[in-house]
Amino acid sequence: NAGVTQTPKFQVLKTGQSMTLQCAQDMNHEYMSWYRQDPGMGLRLIHYSVGAGITDQGEVPNGYNVSRSTTEDFPLRLLSAAPSQTSVYFCASSSTGGSYEAFFGQGTRLTVV
């Protein structure tokens, strides 16, 4: 019963490096989202997707790219890492089927030095 799986769990990047945070879900959910969590700010939406091939920007999209080629996967790409992107990143998925519950991964703790 995997649910939402995020990799890696921890990552340290140097300023200017790029990387991809992986997110996969095995619940056949249509909706997937990326959030970042910062102390005192709760979770803020970065990008979201309502289905394969469809993505849109959330509240804090700058510096991040996403794509959704399959229902299962929703990777988040950091194009040129900056210290301001040091955060904990969470991927979530949910269904249009009426449960209205978002399922979250365990998070990726990213530090940019």
14 or 97: CB nearest another protein: 97
Stretch 41-70: interaction string toward another protein, x if CB under 8 A: xxxxx--xxx-------x------------
* Residue 33 contacts another protein per CB under 8 A: yes
Min dist. Cβ of residue 44 to another protein (A) = 7
Min dist. Cβ of residue 29 to another protein (A) = 9
64, containing H or E segment: strand 64-66
89 — phi, psi (to 5°)?
-110, 135
Q: For residue 100, which amino acid is it?
A: Y
- The candidate with the shortest Cα–Cα distance to 26, out of 71, 57, 90, 58, is 71
14 or 40: CB nearest another protein: 40
- Residue 42 and residue 20: Cα distance in Å, rounded? 23
Give 83's DSSP letter: G
| DSSP-derived secondary structure for 14-32 | -TT--EEEEEEESS--SEE
Min dist. Cβ of residue 80 to another protein (A) = 26
- How many residues make contact with another protein (CB under 8 A)? 26
Residues contributing to the site for another protein (CB under 8 A): 4, 31-33, 35, 40-45, 48-50, 58, 90, 92, 94, 96, 100-102, 104-107
